[in-house]
Every structure is written in structure tokens, then in C-alpha cells.
Structure 1
Amino acid sequence: MKKITITTAFIIVITLGSIAQIKQNTEGIYLDEHNNPFTGTYNEYFENGNIRVEMKLTKGIQDGYTNIFFVNGIKNEQRSYSNGLMHGTWITWNEVEVKLAEANYNLGQKHGKWYIWDEKGTLRYEMEYENGAKTGIWKMYNESGELMNKKDYSQKNKP
């Protein structure tokens, strides 16, 4: 029994030590215990032991998915990066797992369809971007989900 307790304590100390050894410098690069850019999965935890942040890093930069959680363990956000730039689909949920937002990026710029729902899950806004600029028909809905307004950005970005 004593051997198991010592082994468990050793594993906890090693695990906590490895978590604490990753740090972010002033340029936003995540570094390992030897001050080298970290590659791998980096996790942060709440005091209750639940995961707070899980992010994929390549050479110290966010690259791939980053997941952010509420203290109760439910996922709050899923983000996607490519070489440190926002890239791909980002999704946000509330604490009762209702989707609140879905946004798309292309190498750091807003690009593609964006959707915003209210806390009940009713679609309120439907938008579109092309390389950071508003485009297409934007739609606004009321709390019942009925279309209330449209705004046409189709011609605003054309030469």
C-alpha cells in the first residue's frame, strides 16, 4: 500500500511539474522548460482538476484545434489555427451546450459563413465574409426565428 501511495505521489509531482514548465513569452510563443518552442498538446486546468484549455502547438505557435471548457467540464469553444493564424471553423456553446456562434476564418481573416444563435438556440444572424470583407446577403431574425431584415453586401466588394 505504501509503495502505491509513493508511486502515485511521484506521478502527480512529475505531471504537475511538466504542466508548469510550459510558459508563454512576450511574443506569444509557448516555451518548454529549456526555453525552446514547444510542440505537442498543451493543457491548463481549473483548481477542481477539470481541463480549462487544450491546445495544439507547433514550434510554440497554436496550430490545429484549441478547445476551451467551462469549469464544469462542458466545452465552451472550439477554435482552429494554422501557424498561429485563425483558420477554419470556430464554434461557441453556452453552459447548457446550446450552440451560440459558428465562424469561419482563412489564414487570419474572416472568410465564409458566420452564424449567431441566442441562448435558446434560435438563429438570429446569418452573415458571410470574403477575405475579411462583408459579402453576400446578411440576414437578421427575431426571437421566434422569423426573418426580419436583409442587407445585401454582394456588390460592395466588387470592382
Structure 2
Amino acid sequence: MDKKLLLVSAFMAGATWTIQAQDLVLSEGQYYTDETQTTPYTGRYTEFYEDGMLKMELYLKDGRPEGTYVIYYPDGKIAEVRSYYHGIFHGEWRTYNEHGKLIGLASYKEGQKDGPWRIWSDEGKLLYEMFYTNGKKSGVWRSWDEEGNLLSEERQEEE
């Protein structure tokens, strides 16, 4: 299924800002410059809320996300920061609450869950700690209540 998205790129020519908009076509996870889907888009991609505030920004290379992908709350604060390499998750995925506190941290390697995953309450208390190795559960998984009391601790079986 194709979905048209608005691409807004700004560049500076001397002291003058020029904003150009063009439609992109999203098909099977890849962004194209036209309906024929023959030219994958490379460049900065941005979306805005109706009031003009930045909603998200990322860089696309050959039609796929590359590098840092940032999603914003309507007030301009960062909601999520994701890392991509060749169109797949690679690196950290951080989630923040509306007050700017880190509430989620996930790790990926070449598209697979790999490394620590942690979830905090809005008050900053660690609630969950999980580990993955090459997409599989690993290590000891723990959960805590809002007061910091350990609720569960379970060693993951090697698959």
C-alpha cells in the first residue's frame, strides 16, 4: 500500500531561506520521489504538526532511514530518538516522557534486539531491566515496583 507524505526541505542561499515541498511515496518501507517507484529518495525528511511545530526528522539514504531519527511532542520536546543503519534499527532507541525524562532505553544490532532494555517510571524509578543477545532473551530479567522493591528476577534460558 502506497502512502503519500509531504517532504519539506529547507536550504539557505545567501541570507535567504527557501522551502520546497514535494510528495514522497512510501511503499514497503522505502520512500520514493514519484509514483513510479523508480527513484528512492536520499536527503533530509521532516514532518510538521498542523501548527507548524516539528513532528519528526530523519535522513533517508536510497529511500531508507539512515542515522538518527527524532520524534517530537507537539510542544517541541523530544519524544523518541532512534538509530538506523541501512534502513534497520541499529544502536539505541530512547524514549522520553513529556517532561524530558528518559523512560525507555532499548538496544538493537543489525535489526535485532541486542543488549540492555530498561524502562523507568515518569519519576525516574527503574521498573524493568531485560537483556537480549542477537534477538534472543538473555541474562537475568528483573522488575521493580514504584518504590524500588524487587518484584521478580528470572534468568533467561539459552535457546
TM-score by length of 1: 0.82
Higher Rg of the two aligned structures: 1
Match of residue 27 from structure 1? 28
How far did residue 146 of structure 1 move? 2.6
What is the CA distance between 1:32 and its match in structure 2? 2.8
Code of the residue aligned with 2:30 in structure 1: it is I
User: Which is strand-richer, 1 or 2?
Assistant: 2
Structure 1 partner of 2:4: none
Contact 2:25 2:34 in 1 (8 A): no
Residue type at the aligned position of 1:28: G
Aligned to 1:7: none
Which residue of 107, 113, 117 maps to 2:120?
117
> Structure 1 residue runs of 4+, over 6 Å off?
none
> Which of 141, 152, 157 is residue 155 of structure 2 equivalent to?
152
Write the distance in 1 (CA, Å) between the matches of 2:25 and 2:85. Answer: 18
List alignment gaps of at least 5 residues for structure 1.
Answer: 1-10
Which residue of the partner structure matches residue 4 of structure 1?
A: none
* SS in structure 2 at match of 1:137: strand
Note the aligned Cα RMSD (angstroms): 1.9
**Structure with more helix by fraction:** 1
Alignment partner of 1:52 is 2:64: no
The TM-score normalised by the length of structure 2 is: 0.82
Structure 1 Cα separation of the partners of residues 61 and 74 of structure 2: 26
Q: What is the number of residues matched between the two proteins?
A: 142
Identity over aligned pairs, percent: 36
Determine the structure 2 residue equivalent to 1:90.
93
Q: What residue ranges of structure 2 are gaps of 5+ in the alignment?
A: 1-15
Q: Is the 8 A contact 1:22 1:30 kept in 2?
A: no
Residues in 1 aligned to 2:66 and 2:41: alpha-carbon distance in whole angstroms: 11
